Structure 1
Amino acid sequence: MTSADLLVDAFGRVRESVHATVKGLDTAALTYRPEEEANSIAWLIWHLTRVQDDHVSEIIGTEQIWTSGGWAERFRLPLEPYDTGYGHTSEQVASVKAEAETLLGYHDAVHAQTEDFVQSVKEPELARIVDENWDPPVTMAVRLVSVIEDDLQHVGQAAYIRGIYERTHA
């Protein structure tokens, strides 16, 4: 198995988990927050997808799918186009509302770009520095693993919230 194969598998697992978590939920379930300061499923899925879109697009050197694919217009969120959700207030979290189809459509578009890219990654490229704002500077390999780790944590949180919602709204 190559590094590219491993990356494809890892990002594929993220996609599978996103679909399993969101599938069949209505807007009430997607926007449910177990407490006032908690994140919703919609916000978590939107955020993990925005971060993946932001980071992978930066590595590739392309415009984000969020803007190039018209997703910002489809979501119609009261947020700046560059916003990925980092540091959001409770009010901003509450403003992220979307249908399951829209969340999954955006995630699938970002996943397709990510998969196309990581399938072509060669071992030496993984050592390329992609962010010099850290000490040590961040390599492509570290950035991609970081995105996978962040995505899996957030989709796990969303799945947990789904379980709470289903137990309390049955």
Structure 2
Amino acid sequence: MNVDALLTGIYDHLPDLVDAAVDGLSPEQLCRRPGPGANPVGWLVWHLTRIQDQQVAELLGVDQVWVTGDRAARFGLTADPADTGYGHTPEQVATVRPDSAQALVDYHRAVAERTRTFLAGLRPADLDRVVDESWDPPVTLGVRLVSIAADDLQHVGQAAYLRGLLRS
């Protein structure tokens, strides 16, 4: 199996998992916290998409999908490319208010398509390219792509679990 097929296979699971996590949930359910300070389904899916969007855009040297069109407005936010949810306080989490499950799906699918296009052109040697020298050891493209996928899979799993709590 070649490297782009392997990575594409991993990332191609995410849109369906996102869809399943939010399908049929109302805006209120997307924002409902299972307990004080906990993150709701809508925030988790927004955050995992924001991280992938920010990281892949940086790797490509292009603007994030987030800052195009009316995406941010559909979440009650401004199109701040630095706002990914990382380090959000409970008050900041509460400001992320998707207008529908479809807003989350649409945003994630747009980011997933960009990621898929990026992955399609990779060769094994590309994965050894250092993309961040601020860490010791420096982070390679391969490590970054695995890290993004791992983070996304963890958060979509959390969202799916919370969906089950909401629907029970």
Instruction: Report the TM-score range of the alignment, normalised by the length of the smaller protein.
Output: over 0.9
SS of residue in 1 equivalent to 2:122: coil
CA distance in 2, matches of 1:62, 1:78: 19
What is residue 48 of structure 1 aligned with on the other side?
A: 48
| Total equivalences in the alignment | 167
Cross-structure match for 2:163: 162
Aligned structure 1 segments of 4 or more residues deviating by more than 4 angstroms: none
Counterpart of 2:133 in structure 1 is 132
Q: Partners in 2 of 1:157 and 1:139 — Cα distance?
A: 27
Verify: 1:110 aligned to 2:149, yes or no: no
8 Å contact 1:72–1:81 — kept in the other structure?
Answer: no
Q: Write the distance in 2 (CA, Å) between the matches of 1:73 and 1:32.
A: 20
Q: Quick one: which amino acid aligns to residue 61 of structure 1?
A: G
Relative distance call for 1:80 and 1:67 in structure 2 (3 A) is closer
Q: Distance in 2 between matches of 1:116 and 1:146?
A: 18
1:87-98 matched pairs, under 5 angstroms: 87-98=87-98
C-alpha contact 1:53 1:65 (8 A) present in aligned 2: yes
- Report deviation, 1:61: 1.0
TM-superposed deviation, 1:82? 1.7
SS at match of 1:133: coil
The equivalent residue for 2:6 is 6
Q: Could you tell me which residue of structure 2 aligns to residue 152 of structure 1?
A: 153
Q: Could you tell me the TM-score, scaled by structure 1's length?
A: 0.94
State the alpha-carbon separation in 1 of the partners of residues 72 and 133 from structure 2.
Answer: 29
User: What amino acid maps onto 1:11 in structure 2?
Assistant: Y
Per-residue deviation, residues 96-127 of structure 1 (Å, max 9, x unmatched): 11111111100000000000110111111111
Indicate the percent of aligned positions where both proteins have the same amino acid: 49
C-alpha RMSD of matched pairs (Å):
1.3
**Match of 1:156, SS?**
helix
Structure 1 residue ranges without an equivalent (≥5): none
Change (3 A) 1:70 1:122: farther
Q: What residue is the counterpart of 1:142 in the other structure? A: 143
